[in-house]
Amino acid sequence: MIDILCPACTQPLQRAPRTWQCAQRHSFDVARAGYVNLLLVQYKHSLDPGDRSDSLQARRAFLDAGHYAPLRRAVVEQLRAHAPQSVLDIGCGEGYYTAAMGAATGATATGAAPEVIGLDIAKPAIQLAAKRHREVATWLIASGAQLPFADASLDAITCLFTQLHLREMQRVLKPGGLLLVVTPAADHLQQLREGLFETVQPHEPDKFVETLGTGFALQSTQTLNFDLLLNHADVSNLLCMTPYAWKARPERREAMAGRTALQTAAAFVILEFERKA
Ligand SMILES: C[S@@+](CC[C@H](N)C(=O)[O-])C[C@H]1O[C@@H](n2cnc3c(N)ncnc32)[C@H](O)[C@@H]1O
Ligand SMILES: [Zn+2]
């Protein structure tokens, strides 16, 4: 097990089944569902930070229908090539991708179990994740801006459709450690967006490469394209889980939500970086 640090004093937490405690006796309860809340009030910035419950439920239903299974396979395959002993999934949401990552981890030299950690700032996200996938990962409520890990302590970080906190990712990754970033490719959900907006702005995955340039070296870029055949419920879920859909004019949004079927492109970019020494 890797060291998880107390958010109040940064000393390692002793993990017991019911409570985690540091040497200074700051303690954090393990919730009944099996997660730990390490988000201190001063880092919360709002009462309910992160994704809201309705959007999380919609994402879970959409992912459960299997529409992004090819992406999950591709992420696990790419991780497997590195056989990391520790993986941190930042902004893990309801845990669809995180829960599959254990299959990609490698055995440690000491025989200790490898560990996958799912971390999200939204309490309802971690609740959903822990309830379904308690045993396969460690679930933490915390912010990507304040990661509860020691410097150079992790083998791999994944960030799927989540804001990047570069300094913290660089700090906690081991030199040579792996960062996988997944972001929409230029034409992701093109037909959906053409229905919602008069002008469709292409997504800009290259922006990530530019911002990550200093501390991380780009190792590979993989694009993944496949068709989505969506029914009425899938389209409603997709609209609810996609933040920019709310910017569409109400009549366009309603027309899209009323569709009984939609064929649209799924297009993703998987960027693999190495943390520079
Ligand atoms: C678009 S969702 C992606 C969820 C998941 N990776 C997936 O692809 O299904 C972005 C997630 O980032 C979380 N998030 C937003 N700000 C965060 C922060 N500062 N630290 C950690 N997670 C954050 C949200 O709560 C949300 O679950
Ligand atoms: Zn402490």
Write out the two tokens for 121.
Answer: 């700032």
2 in any annotated domain:
no
Side chain identity at residue 26, one-letter code: H
Question: Please, which pLDDT band fits residue 114 given cuts at 50, 70 and 90?
Answer: very high
3-state class of 21 per DSSP? strand
Pick from 35, 121, 128, 203 the residue to mutate for probing ligand 1's pocket: most ligand atoms within 8 Å of its CB: 121
* Res 223: pLDDT: 97
Write out the two tokens for 267.
Answer: 């297009």
Which residue's alpha carbon is at the smallest distance from atom 25 of ligand 1? 50
**Taking a C-beta distance cutoff of 8 angstroms, is the pair 112, 76 a contact?**
no
Question: Please, which pLDDT band fits residue 268 given cuts at 50, 70 and 90?
Answer: very high
Ligand 1 pocket member 120 (CB < 6 A): yes
CA pair distance 147, 216, nearest whole angstrom:
18
How much of the chain, in percent, has pLDDT values that exceed 90?
Answer: 83
Question: Please, which pLDDT band fits residue 49 given cuts at 50, 70 and 90?
Answer: confident
134 in any annotated domain:
yes
Question: Please, which pLDDT band fits residue 209 given cuts at 50, 70 and 90?
Answer: confident
CA pair distance 155, 175, nearest whole angstrom:
9
Question: Please, which pLDDT band fits residue 112 given cuts at 50, 70 and 90?
Answer: confident
Report the separation in Å between the CA atom of 212 and the middle of ligand 2, taken as the mean of its atom positions. Answer: 32
Closest listed ligand to the CA of 5: 2
Ligand 1 pocket member 160 (CB < 6 A): yes
115 in any annotated domain:
yes
Report the separation in Å between the CA atom of 80 and the middle of ligand 1, taken as the mean of its atom positions. Answer: 23
CA pair distance 116, 119, nearest whole angstrom:
10
* Res 274: pLDDT: 96
CA pair distance 119, 145, nearest whole angstrom:
11
Higher model confidence: residue 243 or residue 96?
96
pLDDT in tens, 127-154: 999 999 999 999 999 999 999 999 999 9
Report the separation in Å between the CA atom of 28 and the middle of ligand 2, taken as the mean of its atom positions. Answer: 10
Number of C-beta neighbours around residue 235 at 10 A: 22
pTM equals 0.96
Average pLDDT of the chain is 94
* Res 60: pLDDT: 97
Rounded (10°) CA dihedral 201, 205, 210, 211: 90
Side chain identity at residue 15, one-letter code: R
6 in any annotated domain:
no
Ligand 1 pocket member 92 (CB < 6 A): yes
Sheet containing 14-15: give its strands across.
14-15, 19-21, 27-29
Over residues 31-45, the mean pLDDT reads 88
Kindly report the backbone phi and psi dihedral angles of residue 182, in degrees, each rounded to the nearest multiple of 5, phi listed first.
Answer: -115, 130
* Res 244: pLDDT: 83
pLDDT in tens, 63-109: 999 999 999 999 999 999 999 999 999 999 999 999 999 988 987 66
CA pair distance 248, 110, nearest whole angstrom:
54
Which residue reads 């410097």 in tokens?
151
Report the separation in Å between the CA atom of 171 and the middle of ligand 2, taken as the mean of its atom positions. Answer: 20
pLDDT in tens, 161-171: 999 999 999 99
* Res 152: pLDDT: 97
Report the separation in Å between the CA atom of 44 and the middle of ligand 2, taken as the mean of its atom positions. Answer: 18
74 in any annotated domain:
yes
Check whether 193 has a pLDDT greater than 90.
yes
Number of C-beta neighbours around residue 34 at 10 A: 18
Question: Please, which pLDDT band fits residue 46 given cuts at 50, 70 and 90?
Answer: confident
Ligand 1 pocket member 148 (CB < 6 A): no
Query: For residue 256, what is the domain's CATH number?
Result: 3.40.50.150
* Res 23: pLDDT: 98
Report the separation in Å between the CA atom of 146 and the middle of ligand 2, taken as the mean of its atom positions. Answer: 15
146 in any annotated domain:
yes
Side chain identity at residue 60, one-letter code: R
Check whether 41 has a pLDDT greater than 90.
no
105 in any annotated domain:
yes
- Domain span including residue 233: 14-275
Q: How many domains does one find in the chain?
A: 1
